[in-house]
Amino acid sequence: MRRPVCVALAGGSGAGKSALAAALANALGAERVLRLAQDSYYRDHPSASSDELAARNFDHPDALETELLVAHLGELRAGRAVDVPVYDFARHRRSPATWRAEPRPLVVVDGILALWDPGLRACFDLRVFVEAPEALRLERRLARDVTERGRSAEAVRSQFEATVRPMHDAFVEPSRAFADCVLANSSRLERASDPLVARVRELLG
């Protein structure tokens, strides 16, 4: 197999990065696409209490083990499989389990800070920034965290004000400058996914 094409989908929490990654997999064939969530690489703090973990700033670059993600992408680009960590969002802890990721023609990494770190940016053949209005991003985050991560709406809103919005302004939004293209994802998903699929098809040849 030729070296995988690696694509980054960055942008604010709730911008629709995961939905775009799923649309890519659906359009190109799931068997050809490896999806990696940057969220899987949150650092583990086994000695911290539950209250300490809940109070951590998960939107700062230091919260992520970016060096491990960079190493994994290097292995995948070289044609070797990696063991991806599994993060338990309900407990704010990394699971002892991992899952085996085999290289595929397309590797898609989605995460709010996928374009922030220079070493991580260098791993990608295409760097995409996904944008959506703040109100819509918060609405989508509420729906996800309450349904999938066992959070209360009050806790989600509190975290958004305390860390999500400030870190978005400090780190996420500035990383737009490193994107090869910016996709608006505030209406029908196809309006953002169709040009992305076309661009990736070109890269895959």
**Contact call for residues 5 and 76 (beta carbons, < 8 A):** no
What is the pLDDT of the chain when averaged over all its residues?
94
Mean pLDDT value of segment 30-58: 89
Residues 98, 101: Cα–Cα separation, whole Å: 9
Q: Tell me, what's the pLDDT at 46?
A: 83
Q: Tell me, what's the pLDDT at 122?
A: 98
Q: Tell me, what's the pLDDT at 185?
A: 92
Answering whether pTM is above 0.85, one says: yes
**Contact call for residues 120 and 69 (beta carbons, < 8 A):** yes
**Confidence check: pLDDT of 195 > 80:** yes
Q: Tell me, what's the pLDDT at 18?
A: 93
- Residues 6+ positions from 165 with CB-CB distance below 8 Å: 134
**Confidence check: pLDDT of 140 > 80:** yes
**Confidence check: pLDDT of 1 > 70:** no
Phi/psi at 91 (5° precision) = -105, -5
Instruction: Calculate ∠ Cα 52-40-92, nearest 5°.
Output: 20
The partner residues of 74 in beta bridges, in order of sequence, read none
How does pLDDT run across 91-119, given as a tens digit for each residue? 888 999 999 999 999 999 999 999 999 99
- Residues 6+ positions from 8 with CB-CB distance below 8 Å: 109, 110, 111, 114, 115, 120, 121, 123, 124, 126, 127, 128
- Residues 6+ positions from 110 with CB-CB distance below 8 Å: 8, 9, 10, 17, 18, 20, 21, 35, 36, 37, 38
Residues 19, 137: Cα–Cα separation, whole Å: 13
**Confidence check: pLDDT of 49 > 70:** yes
Structurally, what CATH architecture does the domain formed by 5-204 represent? 3-Layer(aba) Sandwich (3.40)
Q: Tell me, what's the pLDDT at 121?
A: 98
Higher pLDDT, 89 or 94: 94
CA separation, residue 79 to residues 6, 28, 54, 86 (Å) = 12, 20, 37, 22
